[in-house]
Structure 1
Amino acid sequence: MPRIGMEPLRRKALVDATLRTIGQRGSLDVTMSDIAREAGVSPALAHHYFGSKQQLLVASIRSLLNRLRADAVAAMENLETPRERLSAIIRVCFHPDQFAPETVAAWLAFYVEAQRSEEVRRLLVIYARRLRSNLLDSLGRLCPPDNAVRIAEGVAAMIDGLYIRQSLRAGPSSSTASITLTEDYLDLQLRPFLRDAGP
């Protein structure tokens, strides 16, 4: 008989194994058997819980997005200034767990999949809109709306670009270096507005 409470644990194990397996391969060219082996369960159990590899991929993306959202909420809790909140968003995006090579490879594989899967594309669009909204919420308190939109797009583009460079091992190789680079860009963009605001 199945042990009570095992389903959530096995589902999580399969999602985590999906991210690891895709990250190690650098593509979605993995099978349910590969993932099940990595999770330490049978392929039949993986199919029982998720039905298909596509459903497991979607669950894995949702897991990444939920983790990002929870981390962002926790990081911004009790922060008083818009600038502090912007820094918190940047730190979350480059958290070592998210910016680990295997996780970066998984993110990029999901972006490739989004070109042919409407469901995957929709989830990644939600992520992009959420990031933009969080950035605009704070930027809108520091500069005029048009500037806030431009700066938000620039910060989001830097984050995406640094993920791509990390996957190529061609950019800053650490979370800290990526945070510093993005913060420098943000400081440069905000300087005229913070200077005009005075002490």
Structure 2
Amino acid sequence: MVSFGFPAAVHTERCPYMPKLGAEPIRKAALINATIATVGRKGSLDVTVAQIAREAGMSTALAHHYFGSKERIFLAAMRHILTQYRDTASVALKGAEAPRDRLFAVVRASFGAENFARETIASWLNFYALALVEPEAGRLLRVYHRRLRSNLMVALRPLVGAEAAGIARTLGALIDGVYLRAALSDDIDAHAAETLILDYLGKVLP
């Protein structure tokens, strides 16, 4: 073969499911959002990686490449919801200085648009079930409960003193109950949920 002095062509065709450089964070986020949407619509953890990948617009092979298993995708989605809640609460608390304002900010964060979206609610409640059998999911759920209790206690102590622990416990149970009610029916929205909790606070706060 005659050589014209040019380097030999290098075969660079990419395997269809090989990840592109820089695409990983975007694709992981898409898979996490797809997991929340798929589980939320199904109302169950009985979904496949293929269904999640299809929702995200990518191959099953890519989903397995990024997360390894369906359980890890679930855990990533659970962490995403927790991070979203933490960020919402942090923003709400920045502008609240008085204890009562801080308390109301925590409540409003629980029912913010991002946290109280129907698919997010349904997914979150299914992750409660996952926490019964998956140790890491159980740990994440405990992190959420501790964070919520801590935020409530900081706001409640100056207002009700020794009664803060009991009220914080009741508030946590009420918030969980409202989420359950919202997942099972359409008769409660974010405004109604927030009003229910604030009505309770109106009865127990001085």
Structure 1 length-normalised TM: 0.91
Q: Residue in 1 aligned with 2:177?
A: 161
What stretches of structure 1 move > 6 A for 4+ residues in a row?
A: none
Give the distance between the partners of 1:16 and 1:143, measured in 2 at CA.
Answer: 40
Deviations 1:150-173 (A, max 9, x none): 110111111000011111217x51
Segment of structure 1 superposing worse, 88-97 or 128-137? 88-97
- Which residue type is aligned with residue 71 of structure 1? T
Instruction: Give the unaligned 5+ runs of structure 1.
Output: 192-199
Equivalent runs, 1:152-191 vs 2, <5 Å: 152-169=168-185, 172-191=187-206
Residue 78 of structure 1 deviates from its aligned partner by 2.9
Give the distance between the partners of 1:168 and 1:3, measured in 2 at CA.
Answer: 41
Equivalent runs, 1:45-60 vs 2, <5 Å: 45-60=62-77
Residue 4 of structure 1 deviates from its aligned partner by 3.2
Deviations 1:15-69 (A, max 9, x none): 0000000001000001110000000010000000001111111111000000100
Secondary structure of residue in 2 paired with 1:143: helix
Residue 114 of structure 1 deviates from its aligned partner by 1.2
Alignment match of 2:146 (pick from 129, 144, 152): 129
Give the distance between the partners of 1:59 and 1:81, measured in 2 at CA.
Answer: 35
8 Å CA contact 2:103, 2:155 repeated in 1: yes
Alignment match of 1:84 (pick from 101, 108, 123): 101
Instruction: Give the unaligned 5+ runs of structure 2.
Output: 1-13
Larger helix proportion, structure 1 or 2? 1
Give the root-mean-square deviation of aligned CA atoms. 1.2
| Rg (Cα) greater in structure | 2
Q: Residue in 2 aligned with 1:150?
A: 166
Residue 115 of structure 1 deviates from its aligned partner by 1.2
- Which residue type is aligned with residue 55 of structure 1? R
Q: Residue in 1 aligned with 2:43?
A: 26
The reply to whether residue 17 of structure 1 matches residue 34 of structure 2 is: yes
Give the distance between the partners of 2:28 and 2:20, measured in 1 at CA.
Answer: 14
